[in-house]
Chain A
């Protein structure tokens, strides 16, 4: 296998070695030879010169001494529950994949009986657990959230709580709950008013203005807040301006997701060619943020920069896109269990109901096994890709919906991963060759861990 990747940028040649997640800076003549080797070594008429073979041996030998390890979420028993506390929402956003939480059925709320049963039969007693309050809009069922926290406390379980909200239903009680109970808060906002309010709306006059008030109130209680921005056809050209707008709001972190699971006819749909624009915009945002971090400014992290740096520094291979179906499970308001929140409503992935007498039963074990067994090692689209251990493959639900199986990556994910990594790796290599920038970066990562989104998880 041609297990190197050469990136030529700004007259510099960087070699990435996937097996060790190692980076090398090489001279121009070597870079050009390796590029040729990378692109042609599978051809029957291509003769590999001895000096190239020596170089490959060198990379492999250095790689062996810096061997990377795998991030094996499958080693964990389930410990993160995504609870659909509310399968209803007060907004009617244009691109919602979940039909405002209903997944095409009637609106409904989880009750405490289902929540307790979910905790009892799924979460472990001997390790830290996580609960993501999900919807719909979770705060439409705020009382249940408080009851769940009280139940977890009485049961003696160590549970870390978080939620993702549209940020339009806040009040003093909710702010108090956030401050005292959650470890982080994610609020959806798609940009300035003229962008956000054409795709996120409801019966309130301006979702944007309401969310801005929420962000200010959360900041005033000194609590880490992240923004989740859904990029659509209407916003991809303005992403850099949107990122700067979020940065000016003083949030702790921001993350971008592209709209998916909407019809191609939708005015918000992002085609593959438009997606290249999105990936380039996102890459330049991440690059700017990376340089801020290397300048010692850890004010706002753009995800996944922290994760990218953590992966390279700790030499940790991602072999799955995420922990869905293994460490992470979703439970609907009715108690149906799915591998993640995006599989809800797909009968073939229903793992059973927490109220079933025999739960967890055969379907649960069978589906967990499926999710445990697929990885970049088994995916034909990933197993020979240079970026496989950096990206971990595609989101299982998107692979399933667009390619018919859980592990075939979509074209969009491959564009996303390769564009971002090819942009960031040369810059990261340059930072690591500069002592001051490296020291600044170390301080920034430490600040993110202790003052950023991890603040309440690592509080002493």
Chain B
């Protein structure tokens, strides 16, 4: 027993020396800025990266104009919840002036750490799908939500398909284990039902299942379009390219309406009316500026009676891929082309 205590002491010493060594090499001076902001991003994903980028760019601009300097500490948890907690704790230990977070799990971890620390460090979140249900609203938090108005999306679908009145079928393709796309699906189904359109859910838990889904959808003549949500699994470039290829080379190509503008540009989807995440990030930066420089309490900032920005029409981009639509033998109505932010 005595020997093991001695052993334990030696081991502790070695570990202490090793970590001290890392600490010494990692020493940096971060105190020359007016504001230091910790960015806790859950994973590398276009929407999340754009939100962070939009936030960083806009806040730097605002701070420059006001004559302040700002420093960003960027950390990405790589989809690991334990790392998200470590990052939040480290930011608090470094006494950052504010924490920015994107991705539900990282936002929750950041808020939990900040709340436990007394709620003195403000937290701003960006592009959250449901801030209320995810327990994100506290006196020290504010942010933006990427929830979009589904009624407008349904009207757009109807115009795209070219059936002015009466019912038709739309397939909603999504990852059934992602919270926001499930919620988005519910809203889409309700909004479509009000307009007489039937939306059926086609959930997958693996990218590989998309093949059977697309084949089944194309094989059923009732379907006139495919709608894909703000999906982290199907939204990756590789997965979406696969969806586009399967659809274009299938027995009956259908117009795909995506929630990501980039998929239209890449030629995988015909149309998208989606939040511009750079814009949402920039809006989050404006909230952050009001808190840091304006001295406002985050929880008191209310827009339209809500404690967070809900993605407004100004933050939505309508992107159309005319070439792809024409290769399917479809014509896009001129009114839509006029209203589009960009046409390929």
Bound together: no
